[in-house]
Each structure stands twice: as structure tokens, then as C-alpha cells.
Amino acid sequence: MITTHIQKMEHKLLIYRKLLQRFAMNRWIISLFVGVGLLMLFSGCAIINTQAETEKVAPTVIVQKVEREDIKKILEEEKLLYIDNNAEKVFAVNGEGIAPQNTVSPAQAMALAKRAAVADAYRQMAEKLYGVKISAKDTIKDAALYDSRIVSQVDGLVKDATIVENSFADGLYKVRMELIMSGKRWQEIFAY
């Protein structure tokens, strides 16, 4: 009788151990799922339906040629971009020219100096409006600089520039040239 009672107790003890093992295993699995869930929650991950996402990814792209005048109209009508068309832009430069030494008369010297000053002013105006292309070339001989050449080039059309000041003193002719342009015209020519 005692042996059966002991056997029953051993059997109950064995059942309790199995339950404890299962509970420990279940507790480990539950903590794993809770940990992964918290990790997904705090890292911003989410379970998504990938099939629905792939269906949404294929948008249709329509390519349409738009004329420059249409863009201007849209920008002016919708006021998507602020363009100050009323403000005038004033560009000013100072040109200088030297009278050559071998002239026939002082009048010829002054005229040639003026021509050089006006040409210099136009060149400077084109530089301001269109920029300058610079090309440089260095020649090295015997590990030393042998020749260095720098060439600057300006290409542009300057219209409606006026000379507002001029002076001639000591063989140097100076001119001040200004170009006044409306904001709208500035946008048409130089906005790119």
C-alpha cells in the first residue's frame, strides 16, 4: 500500500515536472513573441500585404511636350513662382581707353581713346550678362614653368546700352555705360 502510494506520488511529481517544463517552454516562447512584437513596434516595422503594394507601385507616366509660352502663362496665372516683372535691373560698367602715341592730331587721339573705352565697356557689359570663358595652358620645361597662357573670351549681344558719363584727361578716356532692363525681359532672356 505504501508502495502504491509512493508510486502515485512519484507519478504526480512526474506530471508536475512535465507541466513545469511546458510552462517554462511556453514562457520562453511567449517572451520571444512579445520581444519580437515590441521590436517591430518600436522600430517602425509593420506587417504589410506585399501583393497589394506591388499592385500600387506601377503608376502611369505621361510625357508631354510643353512650350515655353505655356509655362510662362501658367506661372503668371497660377503665381506658382514669384517673378518681379516690374522691377528694373540696371547694369553699369566703366570702360577705359588710352590714346595711342602715333596720332596725327589731338582730336584723332581723343576719338581713338573714346572708341577703345566704349569697346572696353561693351566687353565688360557682355561679361556681366553672359559670363566669361577662360582657357589656360601652362608649359613645363626642365621641371620649371616655361610658358603660361590665359585666354578669356566673351560672346554675347548687348543692345540698348547707353553711355551716361564720359571724360578725357591725360590721354585716358573713361565712359560709364548703363543697361536698363525690365524684370520681365530679364526673365525672358536669362532665366534658364
Cell 587721339, residue?
Answer: 109
The arithmetic mean of pLDDT across residues 81-109, rounded, is: 81
Q: Whose grid coordinates read 496665372? A: 77
- Vertex 101 angle, CA 110 and 103, to 5°: 60
Cell 526673365, located at residue: 187
More confident residue, 176 or 91: 176
Q: How far apart are CA 162 and CA 172, in angstroms?
A: 20
82 vs 103, higher pLDDT? 103
Tens-place pLDDT, residues 2-23: 666 666 667 666 676 665 566 5
Q: What is the pTM of this model?
A: 0.51
Q: Which of 85, 92, 86 is nearest to 179 (CA)?
A: 92
pLDDT attached to residue 82: 47
Convert the pLDDT of each residue in 27-65 to its tens digit: 666 666 666 666 666 665 455 555 555 556 556 666 667
